[in-house]
Amino acid sequence: MPPPSSDELASHYTLNMKQNQRQRVSREAASKAGKCLKRSEGHDERALATAQAWRVQHLEPTARCFEALARCAEQFEGAVVSYRLKRMTSILRKLQRSNSNFKLGTLDDIGGCRLIVRSVDEVYRAVAILNEELGEWKTKDYISRPQSSGYRSYHVIYRIPEGGVSYRIEVQIRTHLQHLWATGVEAVGEVYGLEYKSPDVRASLEGEAQQRDRFLKLSSHLFAREEGQPGVPDVPDDLAVVRREVSAICESTHLLDDLRAARSGILVQADSDEEDEYFLLCLSRAIQFFDIVGFPEFEAANDEYQRLEKEALRTDAGNDVTIAEPEFDNVVLVKAESAEAIKSSYLNYSLGVDGFIRQVEQASGLSLN
């Protein structure tokens, strides 16, 4: 049986409103629902309803974590902060990964925040500030020990209490260069229809798709060396060798040409004023539309974000609540200096990949036009 489509997730299951209002979903109930979803490949409607309720319960603790990051960001010029809830489709994919023992109730990244700063030194300074306020629980330093895919960032899991439950919220702290690479990976995935972040996908790649994955790994290695940090595993130490391989892959796969051709495929609309500090990023892939809406205050921005997240729940015939089709594929709340800063930091949404291409050319020391 194929996994449920986005439309199925959005429209085919119901919740009993009275039961949902009477008590929160517990961590144990969420994990039990996750097991049912893995067995049914995401088609158990009752389990889907429980999983969605568990997901929505992360809204308030994630917003509180975001506020702490926003205060921290004030100490770093040009910092960008964001938060989001993981989409149900992404949660299901994670639960159904081969050879995985993920439990829905113990997933660390249903609620996620991100802080982007200028340098690796600022990353570690920000970590110290946040740990002082939020209390470090679990960390993963992918800057000093990059993943084999090339991914580099510093992750901290904080436990944020809400309604008698301690929610695990993942915070990613990275430099603008590390973020440029990560969003470049997503842009490549958008162009070729492959999720290059997925270990299962990466393990099955062949031919040009495998070469593109190698390109991303090599470019991350070059970026790491530019920042004076450890390189990516299984990449030659000789940068001249790495640069030649990058050039050869680009020539044989036409990767950068494809990225350039796709960069104007999505319409970007910004509705903001100079005094706005908070922005909602809303992406609709169906109509190729990326909307940036500005707000001067956190409260108004957060209210609208939570409305968009919760609008999937609508009353239908009294007691039942139907999970409606969401208006956007993805919604993120961001704090930044301007809408222009948003565009440069979240280039994957609009496929504005010029910055990524320029950085690859600069790091490789070659002209790849």
Angle of helix 298-310 versus helix 59-73 axis, rounded to 10: 150
Specify the pLDDT at position 61. 95
Residues 6+ apart with CB under 8 A from 340: none
Specify the pLDDT at position 136. 81
3-state secondary structure (DSSP) of residue 288: coil
The pLDDT tens digits of the residues spanning 8-67 come to: 444 433 343 334 444 789 999 999 999 998 888 767 888 988 999 999 999 999 999 999
Residues 6+ apart with CB under 8 A from 237: 231
Task: Tell me the CA end-to-end span of the chain in Å, nearest whole number.
Answer: 45
Specify the pLDDT at position 314. 42
Do 323 and 315 contact (CB within 8 A), yes or no? no
CA dist 77 → 118, 156, 281, 331 (Å): 8, 22, 21, 25
Band the pLDDT of 183: cuts 50, 70, 90: confident
Do 119 and 175 contact (CB within 8 A), yes or no? yes
Task: Assess whether pLDDT exceeds 60 at residue 368.
Answer: no
Task: Assess whether pLDDT exceeds 70 at residue 277.
Answer: yes
The pLDDT tens digits of the residues spanning 89-106 come to: 888 888 887 667 889 999
Residues 6+ apart with CB under 8 A from 76: 117, 118, 122, 125, 126
Task: Assess whether pLDDT exceeds 50 at residue 231.
Answer: yes
Residue count of the chain? 369
For residues 143 and 51, what is the distance between their CA atoms, to the nearest angstrom? 32
Specify the pLDDT at position 28. 93
Arithmetic mean of pLDDT over the chain: 83
Task: Assess whether pLDDT exceeds 90 at residue 238.
Answer: yes
Q: 271 phi and psi, to 5 degrees?
A: -120, 90
Residue 99 structure tokens:
């050879």
pLDDT (average), residues 222-240: 96
For residues 181 and 142, what is the distance between their CA atoms, to the nearest angstrom? 14
Specify the pLDDT at position 322. 40
Specify the pLDDT at position 106. 92
The pLDDT tens digits of the residues spanning 310-339 come to: 764 443 323 343 444 456 777 889 998 877
Q: 351 phi and psi, to 5 degrees?
A: 55, 30
Specify the pLDDT at position 366. 62
Specify the pLDDT at position 22. 46
For residues 47 and 30, what is the distance between their CA atoms, to the nearest angstrom? 8
Task: Assess whether pLDDT exceeds 80 at residue 139.
Answer: yes
CA dist 224 → 7, 39, 172 (Å): 40, 40, 17
Task: Assess whether pLDDT exceeds 70 at residue 257.
Answer: yes
